[in-house]
Structure 1
């Protein structure tokens, strides 16, 4: 059970196993920066007379997990030294992260979660905090802008195609109307614009006078 938590060098100490052990948890590299390789840092020690003793061999009995914004991922712990372990990952978003350590330390069962913050360990900072002389945009913002641009382009294409379809349908409708107009003209009726036919004059009869 979680009993005490004290800040130490931007890490947090958690007593577990009824106060028999203490876990030190935080980022391996602090301050932690966006997009830079880092790791969950874990140091486990057992309280003893006159101080603490490092606890080794826990890479096989403990599991590390990192989570942010509802997403989580289990990470393998790798021994670093006496009682020290790390679980490597690259933080791809700035802000707060939650680290969870679960499993067994000796005969004690542990399952502890801690979130970064002023009272625990450092949150992830954007690289702009240390870039000089130019700063690069936040990758998350760039990705969001790219997605928005792609969505706008897709909408424009859809509207353009719809306009073409409407235009073609309009032309087809106009052509059909012209065809119907031509077919509906009654047979034998002279269009109003046509000139009336000129009557044919009867043929002149031959003269019956005798010429002498």
Structure 2
């Protein structure tokens, strides 16, 4: 009975080990030996999502393996390569877009670890290009996300739905157009009102001029007209 139990436990352990070995990690980084150094590359935040802040996560170890130790309760690299940001450069590319230069910086309290922040805006595979020199050794390596390296960016669920956002945008656009039309109508009315006032003032001025130019009738003329009317 004990032998059967032992064999059963051993079989479960073997099956679990096989499952772990054959299932790709969702939080994987690519580890690569580059000359006398080891580079570990991936996204800072994994899984990575489009339109969510992320960045390049780079670890550089001295030797063909990265050793770790505990320091103040934190797991840190025991054989780090420090100050690499002074001689290395990095850029990121996606699809057919032009590569974008990244600002590589050392991570505080994590010797041998470096980061470069950016906002991935598309889903799919990204490539990190790291180049320059490291203690006299030329470095020119590209790391591309994929099933056997590190995770690609995924679509992030949105809320509220895009249809709601679209409707809201359409409503705002319609309201803006209505305001513009109202402003245009008010401007037209103001212009017409001013024109009417100008025309009215012009009429008053012309009437005043005509009145002042009307010939005056003297008393002699009036008497003469009266006599002529009596004769007639």
Q: Does 1:92 align with 2:121?
A: yes
2:103 counterpart (70, 76, 81): 76
**Cα distance change, pair 102–49 in 1 and its aligned pair in 2 (3 A):** closer
Measure the CA separation in 2 of the matches of 1:75 and 1:40.
9
Q: Are 2:26 and 1:36 equivalent residues in the alignment?
A: no
**Distance change (3 Å), C-alpha of 1:135 and 1:122:** farther
For structure 1, the 5+ residue unaligned runs are 1-6, 147-212
- Find the residue that maps to 1:34 and give its secondary structure: coil
Which whole-Å CA distance do the structure 1 matches of 2:143 and 2:66 have between them?
Answer: 28
Quote the Cα distance in structure 1 between the aligned partners of 2:144 and 2:82.
25
1:120 CA displacement:
0.5
Give structure 2 stretches of 5+ with no counterpart: 1-23, 68-77, 170-232
Normalising by structure 1, what TM-score? Answer: 0.55
**Does residue 45 of structure 1 match 2:61?**
yes
Q: Normalized against structure 2, the TM-score is what?
A: 0.50
Q: 1:111 aligns with which of 118, 121, 140?
A: 140
Count of residue pairs brought into register by the alignment: 129
Q: Secondary structure at the match of 2:79?
A: strand
Q: Which of 54, 58, 82 is matched with 1:56 structurally?
A: 82
Q: Residue 59 of structure 1: SS of its match in structure 2? A: helix
CA RMSD of aligned residues (A): 2.8
Instruction: Give distance in 1, aligned partners of 2:50 and 2:66.
Output: 40
Going by fraction, where is strand more abundant, 1 or 2? 1
